[in-house]
Amino acid sequence: MGEVSEGGVRSRGLTIATRPDALAVAPTAGRVVFAGPYRGYGQIVIIDHGGGWTTLITGLLRLNAAVGDVVRQGDPLGNAGPGRPSITVELRRNGRPVDIVPLVGAG
């Protein structure tokens, strides 16, 4: 957590180095409430899981999801770019970042 993007924005999520064109998938079920470019994050997808929980997936080059889509765990959301891409996953509860590392067993 805490990496700084090319746009100078500090991450509050888990950043994963991926292979070029890697497919990002929905971490769990929900409804897509935002899909598109956002500041220094590239293309992003925001999924509302209900109960105040949302997930942001940032650093995508291409999107496979659109606002209003209902996604299940594992559904494709988009692809990473070329070169040395990274994708960031940020979990939020009531709009506040939650440390995702203990939940995924990373670290």
67 found inside a domain: yes
- With respect to residue 8, please indicate whether it lies within any of the assigned structural domains: no
Residue 6 lies in a domain: no
Q: Kindly report, residue by residue over 16-54, the tens digit of the pLDDT.
A: 999 999 999 999 999 999 999 998 889 999 999 999 999
Structural domain range at position 82: 14-96
Place of tokens 């939020």: 92
The pLDDT value given to residue 61: 96
Q: Is residue 81 part of a domain?
A: yes
Q: Which two tokens stand for residue 105?
A: 């067993």
Tell whether the model's pLDDT for residue 2 goes beyond 50: no
Q: Rounded CA gap, 31 and 29, in Å?
A: 7
CATH code of the domain containing 74: 2.70.70.10
Q: Is residue 85 part of a domain?
A: yes
Tally of domains within the chain: 1
pTM above 0.75, yes or no: yes
pLDDT tens sequence across 77-98 = 999 999 999 999 999 999 999 9
